[in-house]
Amino acid sequence: MNYQWYPGHMTKAKRMMQENMGLIDLVIEVVDARIPLSSRNPDIDELGRNKFRVILLNKSDLADAEANRLWMEYFKEKGFHALEVNAKSGQGLRSLQGIVREACREKIERDRRRGIKNRPIRAIVVGIPNVGKSTFINSFAGKACTKTGNKPGVTKGKQWIRMNRELELLDTPGILWPKFESEEVGRNLALTGSMNDEILEMTQLASDLLGYLLSHYREQLAGRYQMSDSGDMDTALAVLTHICEIRGCYRKGQEPDYEKAASVLMDDFRSGRIGRITLELPADVS
Ligand code: G4P
């Protein structure tokens, strides 16, 4: 399958990010816990050079708990401050202030030494589309905070959300472009819904997902679709045919409607109904 993102969008996103970077101390990077590397854009290391960094392993509720633990270890080993969160429910967000303080300790101490008081840390939330940036901002900022007006040096229309005395958040997230470094990264982004489904071949995608689930999460798959253990359901096609049967996905003339079964499967997967599933592990990439 040919995965892509439009070059025009990428140039625009890159320019926006570069414009914003001058204003901030801290980059809060949101990644999808089901695909923590595929959902990163490695260019952030260049764009966020000399900035303090925190990685949020978001959608952790949809990802495998053990895999979340391994990814947290991975990022910490790489020298990042990282936090496992569920931006939708708000779970994990309470620890963020402490992590931010740790990540920015150098600036806090420098300000203190220079006698500078009440200069909050300014942060931007960044990530590729659909990782949960807006959900996180809404959830974290909640109702308790106030929006500050335009400030000198801030592009007109930009607003800072004042979280507390220590932290201000830019109200619009920075969009990073997905990086299709390999067929696998493209597939991971497509599976988790980070691309426009209209351009994807759903049956092919469902078939790839089933291949992965059969070898890594067979039990969860069997549980969701009442699959027997008889061993006759070892291929993606057999499972998809079975989904057609149990969900009544047929075309006229009782022909299995694989496209319909594929979208049932994709929908179940993306909303976590098959179980908590992670598509890549630190061991696979190292
Ligand atoms: P973005 O700004 O990075 O593009 O992402 P956005 O916040 O719009 O979130 C994309 C989708 O991911 C939304 O679902 C949102 O609810 C969901 N989401 C964000 N964070 C989490 C999380 O931690 N856990 C889970 N399970 N879902 C999360 P949607 O279907 O597009 O919208 P909605 O129907 O949920 O409102």
Picking from 222, 221, 210, 219, the residue whose alpha carbon sits closest to that of residue 258 is: 210
pLDDT of 151 strictly over 60? no
Question: pTM for this one?
Answer: 0.92
pLDDT at residue number 30? 98
Residue with tokens 């020298």: 79
The alpha carbon of 91 and the centre of ligand 1 are apart by a number of angstroms equal to: 14
CB–CB of 10/43 below 8 Å?
Answer: no
Per DSSP, what are the bridge partners of residue 72?
none
pLDDT of 148 strictly over 60? no
Residues with CB under 6 A from ligand 1: 58-59, 61-62, 86-88, 127, 129-135, 173
The alpha carbon of 130 and the centre of ligand 1 are apart by a number of angstroms equal to: 6
- Lowest pLDDT segment from 64-78, 152-166, 221-235: 152-166
- Lowest pLDDT segment from 2-6, 53-57, 256-260: 2-6
pLDDT digits (tens, 9 = 90+) for 242-252: 999 999 999 98
pLDDT at residue number 82? 97
CA angle, 124 then 128 then 134, to 5°: 55
> Which atom belonging to ligand 1 lies closest to the Cα atom of 271?
26
Per DSSP, what are the bridge partners of residue 123?
26, 169
> Which atom belonging to ligand 1 lies closest to the Cα atom of 85?
23
pLDDT digits (tens, 9 = 90+) for 155-173: 455 689 998 889 999 988 9
3-state secondary structure the chain: CCCCCCHHHHHHHHHHHHHHHCCCCEEEEEEECCCCCCCCCCCHHHHCCCCEEEEEEECCCCCCHHHHHHHHHHHHHCCCEEEECECCCCECHHHHHHHHHHHCHHHHHHHHHCCCCCCCEEEEEEECCCCCHHHHHHHHHCCCCEEECCCCCCCCCCCEEEEECCEEEECCCEECCCCCCCHHHHHHHHHCCCCCHHHCCHHHHHHHHHHHHHHHCHHHHHHHCCCCCCCCCCCHHHHHHHHHHHHCCECCCCCECHHHHHHHHHHHHHCCCCCCCCCCCHHHHC
Burial of 264 (0-12, 13-18, 19+ CB in 10 A): buried
In order of their start, the domains of the chain are 9-171 (3.40.50.300), 201-284 (1.10.1580.10)
Protein residue with its CA nearest to atom 12 in ligand 1: 132
The alpha carbon of 255 and the centre of ligand 1 are apart by a number of angstroms equal to: 35
Ligand 1 test: best mutation among 56, 88, 96, most atoms within 8 Å of CB? 88
Picking from 283, 277, 281, the residue whose alpha carbon sits closest to that of residue 265 is: 277
